[in-house]
């Protein structure tokens, strides 16, 4: 979401990510944490995420939960709501929904 608006993740956006991560880290396995560390420097553009979804077995529930998580990180609804809607539509479309 943060990268999709202007191609960058600002300091404020990075802080929102860290805050959400710190609230959720207790729910993650060590393997999950390692995976997050591995992918955080990758190109996580919407196009690459769509490609990943088409190559992996990602369920509609996974997409729905991911969108819910994005919405929880959204501290600026006016700025990001349209981006979230575009991401959700694009990801569900990539799954054929």
The string of pLDDT tens digits covering residues 7-58 is 777 888 788 888 878 888 888 899 988 887 887 777 777 778 888 887 888 8
Residue among 24, 20, 94 at smallest CA distance from 59:
94
Residue with tokens 């995420």: 49
pLDDT of residue 87: 85
The string of pLDDT tens digits covering residues 55-93 is 888 888 888 888 888 888 777 777 788 888 888 888 888
pLDDT of residue 57: 80
pLDDT of residue 12: 83
pLDDT of residue 42: 74
H-helix or E-strand containing 10? none
The answer to whether the beta carbons of residues 87 and 46 sit under 8 Å apart is: yes
How far apart CA 13 and CA 34 sit, in angstroms, is 22
How far apart CA 30 and CA 41 sit, in angstroms, is 18
């Amino acid at each position: 979401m943060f990268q999709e608006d202007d191609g960058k993740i600002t300091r404020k956006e990075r802080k929102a990510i860290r805050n959400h991560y710190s609230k959720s880290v207790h729910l993650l396995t060590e393997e999950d944490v390692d995976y997050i560390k591995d992918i955080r420097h990758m190109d996580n553009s919407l196009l690459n995420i769509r490609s990943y979804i088409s190559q992996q077995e990602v369920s509609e529930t996974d997409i729905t939960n991911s969108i819910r998580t994005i919405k929880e990180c959204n501290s600026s609804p006016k700025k990001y709501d349209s981006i979230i809607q575009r991401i959700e539509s694009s990801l569900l479309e990539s799954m054929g929904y």
